Structure 1
């Protein structure tokens, strides 16, 4: 019998980026890159494990914006074209490098890789949610939800209806797509404040994730630290992140992704190739961009981009297997030690952004594949589990009140509220007050109902924590500012039109076509004193 458990948790999320009003928007490629480098490679890993009889267990969030984009026909068509250009470029690269042995080898590798991506894409008829759902149905993959648009909940807690809107809309969207209610939720940015668990319970959720200090500083102090979940007073469980295992994976400096054999992210053919040659594969206005074809490896921590050696996927795969073995060994030692101290099976929760695996760390899906295989065949110290299964087998836990926290810089809310982004919150709060006011309106016509529902969508989209995050990081800031302002402006126009009983039907049609997330949303979700929310949205 195993001494403990390891729970690998991946958080798959991208902000809702969809621009039917434009032929090309660079930010849409965030999705296309993630499909090619993360989501389909993970599906390939899961398929291979099932084919080989490995009963893997893993938890993965698929956020409502990501699900909506993956199932959107316009974005599916645009990704199909994006992948076709990648395949065309990889074939051209084979011919272009026919006299350079290693570069031809790499070009052939990419051509084969993109062909395999195409095969999966077409086999599931462009619907990757169907692909992920099959593993949910087989109980290998526990899929959980998130906030409706990844809104940062502690910064809207003064408006419980806004928090409830993020949670309730997400749960309803999950059930529409997976045919069952979600059991767990990845709180956006793992951000927790005391009281949100009441709403989670009212929404039917059984557990959520927080950073380690959210559990370690709970009241009373948890007897087992982060190595067991705690139950809140509502009965909803909180799982805390294990920092030791997390740092080994996510850190590019001391973790696995920084190894010299792995692919260099920042040296891409889109910036390296001769301009006229690469021009058909970069931005329509002629600006260079990443293509996803990268021929060099990290080489060393101090190696300049000009000094990078050529990449070799064979040796990178060998290194991923070595690192998976090291990760497994460290968890064996950790769990063996903890089991002796705790006198009960410890749980090590290892949560990461899904896009780390494949997009930022190209070899990440190989690492996951090897980890599950090695854990299945080469050790008997721990079982890999997903969080719902763990709770099913361990229904008794200590009752505590978690500590306010996030997994951002310094562990609290500073990354989403600082000099770079504080200007957005007065506007968001005013819009929230107006949405609560609108929720009390009884729509007198289909047009008014449509406008009220669109107002709810615009508020949710403006609340996305991604925009404040981007403003803080200093990358793509104009886009984040533009998105925040555009949703707020659309919301305010809708509010004024509804209040004046003068709705611009043509403009509303245009906006609802662009921002078409949550087609079944009901604006009444923002009403105060909803019976099902109970005291969480009370006076």
Structure 2
């Protein structure tokens, strides 16, 4: 019997970006980069562990927008083209650097890497969702959901119908794609408010994740802090993020990804190659962009981009193994200490954005591979578990009321409502009120029903927390503003067409092809909540 548990949780999410109306949109490459650098490498890591007889356990969210994009044939075709261009560029780099052995070595590394990505992509017939589903069906992954479009739920609190829609539509979409109901949910931005658990309970969800202070400030104060989940009054469990293990990976000062040996993210061939040479691989308008081929290492935190030295994946992989060993060592000491003062087995919950591993931190999938292998072979202090698996092992927990919280700046809501993005909320609230109004309509024909369903899609897409987040970070702001405004404009035109009884059929058809998320949506999901919400089941 081990003294404790470790739960590694990855949150895989991207906003819904799909533009068949344009020949090229840069933001679609967010998905393509994540496929190449995160999702396929993680899948390869999991396959390798399984082949080697390691019965690993890991929890991973896959949000509805991400699942929808990964299964979209239009985006799959565009990714094929994107990957082919990468393969072509890497091949040219071998010839273009005949006088530089180290660059040739790195170019060959990318040729081999892209070939492996291609092999995995084609092995699963371009359906990565089904590939991850197989790992869940085998008992290694526990895939959980998130809100329908990653809407920031505390800022919808005044409209419970909107909160219910975000959760119920997500659960229905999950069942359509994974063949079962989700057991857990990653709340968007880990943002919680009092009463949110009632919607989760009514949707049949068993647990959710929140930041550590959401548990630490619960009422009554949890006896075991973040090292054991709590049950809410509805019976839904809340797991809190462990600060210590999170800091080791996330911290810009002491986190592993900042090691000098690792690959430098901000120095890319697309910005450094001779212009005429790189022109076929950058933006159609001739502007430079990242290609994903990067030849330099971090070197030091203080070094300018011009001072970076050449990268070596061999030594970077060795460092990832070293860091994985350090992570395991620290979890052993942490759990040994906690087990000595708790009257039960401690649980350390380590949640991260999936895109950290591979995209932002190139060596991240190697780190996860070594972490799981070392946990399996080299220690007996903790058992790696899924969150649902833990609740089966430890069904008795304290009942508390969690505290309002998020994992954003300062731990509450100001990252998503501030001087950069507060302007969006009056418009979102008006659209929400209109959608609740429309939910009481009985469609007089198929066209009106389609317009009502499309209105629900447009509202959901406008509610994505990603747009407010981008406005706050100050990167790609014009795109975030454009997306918010365009979805609101589309919603308002649909509302006017419906209420006037004049559906613009050709425009509606075009809209259905562009914003095609949630094909089975039912606008009645927004029907008014007439009675007090039921508390749900007891623990």
Compute the TM-score of the two structures, normalised by the length of structure 2: 0.99
| Pair 1:518-2:518 in alignment | yes
Aligned to 1:347: 347
Cα distance between partner residues in 2 of 1:512 and 1:531: 34
In structure 2, the CA distance between the partners of 1:30 and 1:57, relative to structure 1 (3 Å rule), is same
Cα distance between partner residues in 2 of 1:249 and 1:279: 36
Cα distance between partner residues in 2 of 1:522 and 1:240: 33
- How far the C-alpha of 1:344 sits from its partner, in A, is 1.0
Cα distance between partner residues in 1 of 2:298 and 2:252: 11
Q: Render the CA deviation track for 1:230-284: whole Å, top value 9, x for unaligned.
A: 0000000000000100010112321000000000000000001000000000001
| Pair 1:446-2:461 in alignment | no
- How far the C-alpha of 1:531 sits from its partner, in A, is 8.2
Aligned to 2:179: 179
Cα distance between partner residues in 2 of 1:291 and 1:532: 53
The answer to whether the 8 Å contact 2:8/2:59 transfers is yes
Cα distance between partner residues in 2 of 1:519 and 1:503: 19
Cα distance between partner residues in 1 of 2:304 and 2:468: 32
Cα distance between partner residues in 2 of 1:97 and 1:187: 47
- How far the C-alpha of 1:99 sits from its partner, in A, is 1.8
Aligned to 1:483: 483
The answer to whether the 8 Å contact 2:145/2:182 transfers is yes
Q: Render the CA deviation track for 1:120-146: whole Å, top value 9, x for unaligned.
A: 000000000011001110111000000
Q: Render the CA deviation track for 1:268-316: whole Å, top value 9, x for unaligned.
A: 0000100000000000110000000000000001111000000000000
For residues 26-45 of structure 1, the aligned pairs below 5 Å read: 26-45=26-45
Cα distance between partner residues in 2 of 1:157 and 1:441: 24
Aligned to 1:226: 226
Q: Helix, strand or coil for the counterpart of 2:415?
A: helix
Aligned to 2:329: 329
Q: Render the CA deviation track for 1:315-369: whole Å, top value 9, x for unaligned.
A: 0000000000000000000000000000210000000000000000000000000
Cα distance between partner residues in 1 of 2:498 and 2:70: 32
The answer to whether the 8 Å contact 1:202/1:533 transfers is no
Cα distance between partner residues in 2 of 1:294 and 1:505: 48
Cα distance between partner residues in 1 of 2:262 and 2:338: 32
- How far the C-alpha of 1:532 sits from its partner, in A, is 11
| Pair 1:124-2:124 in alignment | yes
- How far the C-alpha of 1:533 sits from its partner, in A, is 6.1
The answer to whether the 8 Å contact 1:148/1:460 transfers is yes
- How far the C-alpha of 1:528 sits from its partner, in A, is 1.6
For residues 301-312 of structure 1, the aligned pairs below 5 Å read: 301-312=301-312
For residues 290-305 of structure 1, the aligned pairs below 5 Å read: 290-305=290-305
Cα distance between partner residues in 2 of 1:5 and 1:199: 29
Q: Helix, strand or coil for the counterpart of 1:6?
A: strand
The answer to whether the 8 Å contact 1:202/1:532 transfers is no
Cα distance between partner residues in 1 of 2:532 and 2:508: 31
Q: Render the CA deviation track for 1:60-95: whole Å, top value 9, x for unaligned.
A: 000000000000000000000000000000000011
The answer to whether the 8 Å contact 1:64/1:145 transfers is yes
Aligned to 1:411: 411
Cα distance between partner residues in 2 of 1:356 and 1:252: 13
The answer to whether the 8 Å contact 2:234/2:535 transfers is no
Cα distance between partner residues in 2 of 1:340 and 1:253: 30
The answer to whether the 8 Å contact 1:194/1:402 transfers is yes
The answer to whether the 8 Å contact 2:4/2:381 transfers is yes
The answer to whether the 8 Å contact 1:175/1:182 transfers is yes
Q: Helix, strand or coil for the counterpart of 1:414?
A: coil
Cα distance between partner residues in 2 of 1:97 and 1:209: 48
The answer to whether the 8 Å contact 1:71/1:127 transfers is yes
The answer to whether the 8 Å contact 1:143/1:182 transfers is yes
The answer to whether the 8 Å contact 2:58/2:142 transfers is yes
Unaligned 5+ runs, structure 1: none
The answer to whether the 8 Å contact 1:70/1:127 transfers is yes
The answer to whether the 8 Å contact 2:233/2:535 transfers is no
Compute the TM-score of the two structures, normalised by the length of structure 1: 0.99
Q: Helix, strand or coil for the counterpart of 2:431?
A: helix
Superposition misfits of 4+ residues, deviation over 4 angstroms: 530-536
For residues 161-200 of structure 1, the aligned pairs below 5 Å read: 161-200=161-200
Aligned to 2:370: 370
- How far the C-alpha of 1:97 sits from its partner, in A, is 1.1
Q: Render the CA deviation track for 1:424-476: whole Å, top value 9, x for unaligned.
A: 00000000000000000001100000000000000000000000000000000
Q: Helix, strand or coil for the counterpart of 2:398?
A: coil
Q: Helix, strand or coil for the counterpart of 1:218?
A: coil
For residues 372-411 of structure 1, the aligned pairs below 5 Å read: 372-411=372-411
Unaligned 5+ runs, structure 2: none
Cα distance between partner residues in 2 of 1:398 and 1:471: 39
Cα distance between partner residues in 2 of 1:469 and 1:502: 36
The answer to whether the 8 Å contact 2:160/2:529 transfers is no
Aligned to 1:136: 136
- How far the C-alpha of 1:101 sits from its partner, in A, is 0.7
Cα distance between partner residues in 2 of 1:9 and 1:152: 20
- How far the C-alpha of 1:529 sits from its partner, in A, is 3.1
Q: Helix, strand or coil for the counterpart of 2:248?
A: helix
The answer to whether the 8 Å contact 1:190/1:406 transfers is yes
For residues 71-110 of structure 1, the aligned pairs below 5 Å read: 71-110=71-110
**For the aligned residues, what is the CA RMSD?**
1.0
Cα distance between partner residues in 2 of 1:95 and 1:116: 21
